[in-house]
Amino acid sequence: MTSTSIPTSSTASSVTLSSWLSHLFNVAKANLPKVWATMAIQIGIVLLVQVVFWWDGINPYLPTFISGPIIFLTATYNDVLPKTIYWIIVFTFGKRLLTKIQLVGFKKALDPIKAVIPDVKHAVTSLGQWALPLGLLGSGLGLIIANNFASYSRFAAYGAVNKMDKYFIAVVISFTLSYFMGEGKKHWIFTFSRLSYQALAKRFTWTTPYTDAHTLIVLSGFVAGLLADFPLILIGWQTGGYLLGAVGLIAAIVLLVQKEARPA
């Protein structure tokens, strides 16, 4: 879904991160009896893929031209966390996107992707000098996470670090986040960002204003970081995402601290 409702028993300003998450949990709990059968089927699909393409009892007997693409496109050789993220995206956003394509057609369904670049340009103009450190923050995190997700597998002991067969999850996350950004500021990811910053600002007494433009720049930088790991894999730089990501994070922190100390 493109947006998530929040409690309306009081004014919007009274909504906090904890109350919003509590509301989502209650909604999910109420809907669980309606979707348990579908969830069971989805879990069964995931287990079947793992048994067939992960287990040595079956996989070695499958032709490489069949098993190779499926392993790549299903994150089979990824670690538990990226693999879980992959299947959650497939069964939620992926299902919604396919439904939208059936209703409005492929070209129209991808309209949110077309809106991302103009929205990011507007956010950069709006934030001015804040855009660079926020973009570096996102891209640094993206590079590190891409390197990590493309490294862990059953073959980690044999040097399977930053490998192409585990990189597809980064592409999936990049496309999904780009779509979310293009769907507009009412999407739950913007609500989560605003409320998270609100909670942190209250805890650490931050006074710098936070807008949806901040979220957009960080997320666009994160997507760029995920995608930037691709050429590093091609040239065989196993720790390139970690190193360049760390440089980006350090530069972002330095710039953010300087701007906080000397506000414009």
The stretch 152-168 carries a mean pLDDT of 72
Most confident stretch, 45-59, 127-141, 186-200: 127-141
The stretch 8-34 carries a mean pLDDT of 77
Better-predicted residue by pLDDT, 138 or 165: 138
Taking each helix axis from N to C terminus, what angle separates 212-234 and 168-182, rounded to the nearest 10 degrees?
Answer: 160
pTM of the model: 0.85
Better-predicted residue by pLDDT, 154 or 178: 178
Residue 168 predicted with pLDDT over 50: yes
DSSP code at position 213: H
Distance CA(176)–CA(179), nearest Å, equals 5
When pLDDT is cut at 50, 70 and 90, the band that residue 156 belongs to is: low
Cα Rg of the chain (Å, integer)? 20
pLDDT of residue 157: 55
Q: What angle do CA 46, 187, 88 make, to 5 degrees?
A: 5
Q: CA quadruple 83, 217, 189, 96: dihedral positive or negative?
A: negative
Residue 66 predicted with pLDDT over 90: no
The stretch 187-216 carries a mean pLDDT of 88
Structure tokens at 255: 């710039």
pLDDT of residue 75: 84
Distance CA(177)–CA(54), nearest Å, equals 28
pLDDT in tens, 205-260: 887 888 999 999 999 999 999 999 999 999 989 889 999 999 999 999 999 888 76
CA 100 to chain centre: 20
Which range is least confidently modeled, 104-108, 178-182, 199-203?
Answer: 199-203
Q: What is the mean pLDDT of the chain?
A: 85
DSSP code at position 159: T
Residue 5 predicted with pLDDT over 60: no
Q: CA quadruple 186, 192, 195, 201: dihedral positive or negative?
A: negative
pLDDT of residue 57: 66
Residue 73 predicted with pLDDT over 80: yes
Q: Which of 52, 70, 55, 46 shows the shortest CA–CA distance to 165?
A: 70
pLDDT of residue 262: 65
Residue 79 predicted with pLDDT over 90: no
pLDDT of residue 185: 78
pLDDT of residue 28: 85
pLDDT of residue 11: 42
Q: Which of 77, 97, 79 shows the shortest CA–CA distance to 89?
A: 97
